[in-house]
Each structure stands twice: as C-alpha cells, then as structure tokens.
Amino acid sequence: MGGVLVVYALLVATHLGEFWPFSIYPMFSQAGNPWTRAMVREMPSQTDPDTLSWDAVSLQSLPGASYPLAPKGINQNDVANYVSKTDRWSDERVQGLRSLFFKNRSVNSSLLVYRVRGELVADSVSISATPVLLFTPGASHLNPSPSDRTVAGRSPPAE
C-alpha cells in the first residue's frame, strides 16, 4: 500500500498537482481560469466603421442580431481560435478570418466579430465583449485601438 502511495505522489508531483484522468477534462484542469471565445453579430449593411462603438460591452448590450455559424457551415472553434490566439492582426490573418465568412457564400450585411472574455470575479462571472473586426461586404475594418485587438488587452509582441 505504501508503494502505491509513493508512486501516486510522484506522479502527481511531476504534473503540478494534476493527475492524468483529471487533467484531460477542462472542467478539472482549467476551472476558474479566464476564458476567451468569439461571437459574431450581424449588423445593417450600411454600418459605418467610423461611427461604430469599438468599446467593450456586456452581452446584454450587444448591437445587431446573432449570426448563426453552424447553419452557415462555419466552425465556431475556427473563429474562436482566430480571435483568441492572434496577437498581431496581419493582412493575412484578417483575410483568413474573412474567408471563413465570405468564401463560397454571399453575405449582404456587415458582420461584427467580438472577442468575448469571461473570468471569475468574487462569486460571479464577469463577461465582456470587445469588437475586434467589422467585415462589410467590400472591406475589413480592424478595431482602431491596438490594445483591444490583442488577446486580453496584452500588448503585441515586439518585433
């Protein structure tokens, strides 16, 4: 019995307190950590990027209508990965995300892509949505604030 406990202790110690059966489930290994996802809202086609508010808002204050990704054949995880893992929005990254929405389909409205961030604050969850990109039928507009473009407001890495 003592040998089993020693082996268990060594396994747990070498994995920073996470033991294999539990570490593969995010509800155990990442509970309480901040999370980032993406949300897309459909805006009127005449949406002007110069008058659009690029400030973070609550989920209840989001403008436009929800844009359904799955029925359009767009994988939610692909959009979330673009939005949550991009620190520097190059033209290639913007066009790559745009192609998820406009390639092989006609979209007549503007699409506003949000980075939605949630975190545990005291005994509740705080959720805010920050606009990252506005896709109009003819152009792509990036959030004018460099710190709001990056993941969790981090500064882009130095070149």
pLDDT at 28: 61
Gap between the Cα atoms of 157 and 136, Å rounded: 28
Does pLDDT of 23 surpass 60? no
- Only one residue has tokens 């503007």, namely 110
Domain-by-domain residue ranges, the chain? 34-147
Sign of the Cα torsion 147, 149, 153, 157 reads: negative
The residue with greater pLDDT, 130 or 44, is 130
Predicted confidence (pLDDT) at residue 159 exceeds the cutoff of 60: no
Pure H helices in the chain: 2-14, 20-23, 26-29, 76-85, 91-102, 146-149
Query: Can you give the pTM of this predicted structure?
Result: 0.74
pLDDT at 130: 92
